[in-house]
Chains A and B, each alone.
Chain A
Amino acid sequence: MNLDFGNEYADFRNEVQSFCEQYKGIHVTGSLYSYESVMDPNEKPKIEMDYKEWQKILIEHGYHVRHIPKEYGGFGGDLDIVKNVIITEEFSKSKIPTGVGGQGIDFLVPTLLEMGTEEQRQRYIQPALYLDEIWCQGYSEPNAGSDLASLQTKGELVGDEWVINGQKIWTSTAKYAQMMFCLVRTEPEASKHQGISYLLIPMDTPGIEVRPLVDMTLDAGFNEVFFTDVRIPAENIVGERGQGWLVANKTLVHERGSLGDPNKMIRRYDKLVNLMKSEILDGVRIIDKPVYRDRLMKIHGKILALKSHGLRLLSGRLNKGQDINLGTMIVKLYGTEMRYELETLAIDVMGELGTLYNNSPHLRDNGGWQYAYMYYLGLIIGGGTSQIQKNIISERGLGLPKEPKIQGA
């Protein structure tokens, strides 16, 4: 057991700390991605900055997309997990926002680095990093959710163009996006996993229609995207024809592991503690009422477990001999269910007032609790439902037998 990163990182930490000192109190504006509000709401922002400018500063200093090669617009640093941890820790301590990812940086860029052609990397990576080109992900369809590989949006190669027809759903940021990476069935004769290709589609192509999908929070966080004879160049494919499932799975693994950051959870817990101190019921602070206290402490116990688990996962990435296979598989299930439990308690401590919404009088924290209570239910479902996660854990983690296949499925 050794929780120290070693002296070789002391200089790097100092460097990050002085950067943070310089930008303490920054408020980033204009982004379509929500920067998690890390600032104390009572604090006045010292610096206001446009999101693209902030992104540029972070990339130039190597504090975001650090390991993307210079030739594609990145910092060209080494892929050093410890440095990334130090950056996250120090930014979090100083309450300044880290750079944003989004579908382009988080999913498309790693995919292109691994499977893309040199032309594709030159063309797409830099604009994605600097947020000049926003990407959306066209995976799910109305009839292909958990069973994603049964997707039916059709792509036909006619001359030197793909002709695409069909529909995608749950496409976040499609309204703003310039580009979509999309899974399309191009080989109807092949088996379900072998018939898919990974295509890059400009969103201004004629025949694309984006309809906002209003969710239970009453935001339109998602969209439906309809394709009618959409024509894109034949070269807009990543990997070979029929390899799309393989290409996409590399980033899906990433998506499932990336949810549930313990630091965010701890900040949210602290907020909940403050809420419970400020809510008064019959003259007694909620935090002093044993039934609510006990629920809070139960959640806190789970958060401490997840926080420690984060150290183990980090350790497993640094020490190749350490087995974190099962440990990684449980993160999405554990993190999202726990977060929902936390938000549920927040609603309950406000009682009737917990149901207020939509700028109502008496709203607490701008309605953020009720919003999060619904939003995090969405995360339990999105990115592989809790039930799908349990299938994965039991089959790939514990080695239980698969369910017998129904013929034709």
Chain B
Amino acid sequence: MYFGLSEEQQFFQESIDKFLEDTVTVDALRSYRTGEDDNLIDDVFNGLNELGLSGLIIPEEYGGLGLDSLFAISVSESLGKGVAPYPFIGSFLIAPFLINKLGSDSQKQKYLPSIANGEYRFAVALTEMTGRRIEKGIQSSKQKLSGQSLFVMDDIHSTHYLILDSDGALHIVEAEESGLEKVELKTVDITSFVSELKLDQVKTEDLGNGPGNIDAIKQAINLGRVAIASETLGASQSMLNRSVDYAKERKQFGRPIGSFQAVKHMCAQMASDLEPCYSMVWYAAHSIDHIPHEADLMACQTKAHLSEVGAFVAKTSTEVHGGMGFTDDLGLHYWFKRIGLNRQLLGSPDLLREEAAEAQGI
């Protein structure tokens, strides 16, 4: 019996951590924000693809690494830790997962190898199933899609869109297709890429339309939710680590602030809340592949719980840093905002808890 990440997974995490520490520095993020540096996004994209992230879960026969859900979420933990501006969850987990599950042989041949090598970039529009805020969402008729999707994930230099319509059917749309209008949305989190899509009679390609669709979509959403939770875990751990380091260094009243119980107890509470989250995220990911009857419930509760713990850690660790925590100089807010965005993606915690209640027949 072994419950945890394997040595291989930990080693893989270390290489991602190392790359992100060197590349996504606070200075680099600031230059990207102010427009002085246009290369950060491409550097991160190419560097992480080189490590194999674009093909991580794509089967080896289609040019990927063929790794499982646990591996995937161990990677997203590192991406959160290093607050990576990289479209992992939408482009390289949800899209290839669904294409691999539901695509025809020729669709798999066409898309998967090109996703794995970084040529095709999918953004995903699943809000029809995870909290639609527009009355008329997306309708399909005669191979044409019309309507609006308000919050499309991981839309950066996209070549394709994977869109869920209001009847639960999936469509692949080419980014250049006529009738498709993309409006870039700017969230607080500059490390993520969100857009709004307006569709007017856009030509589409169906992705699967059999009875297995809904299960596969649910599984993909589960994977996405747990991966987001794991990102939040990584980002939170990073904020706690920085708080502890700061509390050891920063002196007031002639002693390190970390020797005051008020500060100590804030750190201890963060650690106590975070520590069980590792196990929760691992178990949730493991259940996607191996314990299917627990997977829906675990995914909802894991993302809901991590959203709450993340919010607490984000706030508390900012407070441990005092006024500095509030500044752009220190840059702690990039993690704060990533955690804040993640909280709302693919279902906010309150909605997820309701779903969790229903999933256990309550």
**Interface residues of A, Cβ cutoff 8 Å to B:** 1-6, 82, 273, 287, 290, 293-294, 296-298, 300-302, 304-306, 308-312, 314-316, 318-319, 322, 326-327, 330, 333-334, 387, 389-391, 393-395, 397-404
Q: Are B298 and A398 in contact (CB under 8 A)?
A: no
**Residues of B with C-beta under 8 A to A387:** 261, 265
The residue that B286 contacts in the complex, of A3, A82, A293, A298, with Cβ under 8 A, is A3
From DSSP, what is the main secondary structure of chain A's interface residues? helix
Can you list 15 pairs linking A and B with CB atoms under 8 Å apart? A3-B1, A273-B362, A293-B354, A298-B353, A301-B304, A302-B305, A330-B275, A387-B265, A391-B268, A394-B267, A400-B248, A400-B256, A401-B256, A402-B259, A404-B255
Q: Are B70 and A395 in contact (CB under 8 A)?
A: no
Q: Are B282 and A300 in contact (CB under 8 A)?
A: no
**Smallest distance from the beta carbon of B358 to chain A beta carbons, Å?**
10
Q: Are B269 and A390 in contact (CB under 8 A)?
A: yes
Q: Which 5 A-B pairs have the closest CB atoms?
A: A308-B279, A297-B353, A390-B268, A301-B305, A309-B276
With A1-B4, A312-B4, A390-B264 already in contact, the answer to whether A293 and B258 are too (CB < 8 A) is no
Q: Are A330 and B276 in contact (CB under 8 A)?
A: yes
From A9, which residue of chain B is reached at the shortest CB distance? B1
**Smallest distance from the beta carbon of A233 to chain B beta carbons, Å?**
43
**Residues of A with C-beta under 8 A to B272:** 330, 333-334, 390, 393
B200 within 8 A of A: no
A330 CA to B270 CA, complexed, in Å: 10
What string of 1s and 0s marks CB contacts (under 8 Å) between B266-299 and chain A?
0111011101111110110010001000000010
B260 within 8 A of A: yes
**Residues of B with C-beta under 8 A to A403:** 259-261
**Residues of A with C-beta under 8 A to B247:** 400
A316 CA to B5 CA, complexed, in Å: 12
**Smallest distance from the beta carbon of B262 to chain A beta carbons, Å?**
11
The residue that B271 contacts in the complex, of A3, A301, A319, A397, with Cβ under 8 A, is A397
Q: Are B357 and A293 in contact (CB under 8 A)?
A: yes
From A310, which residue of chain B is reached at the shortest CB distance? B279
With A322-B4, A330-B271, A333-B272 already in contact, the answer to whether A311 and B283 are too (CB < 8 A) is yes
B115 within 8 A of A: no
**Residues of A with C-beta under 8 A to B260:** 403
**Smallest distance from the beta carbon of A123 to chain B beta carbons, Å?**
39
Q: Are A326 and B275 in contact (CB under 8 A)?
A: yes
From B259, which residue of chain A is reached at the shortest CB distance? A401
B31 within 8 A of A: no
**Smallest distance from the beta carbon of A400 to chain B beta carbons, Å?**
4
**Smallest distance from the beta carbon of A404 to chain B beta carbons, Å?**
6
B143 within 8 A of A: no
**Smallest distance from the beta carbon of A152 to chain B beta carbons, Å?**
25
The residue that A398 contacts in the complex, of B244, B282, B290, with Cβ under 8 A, is B244
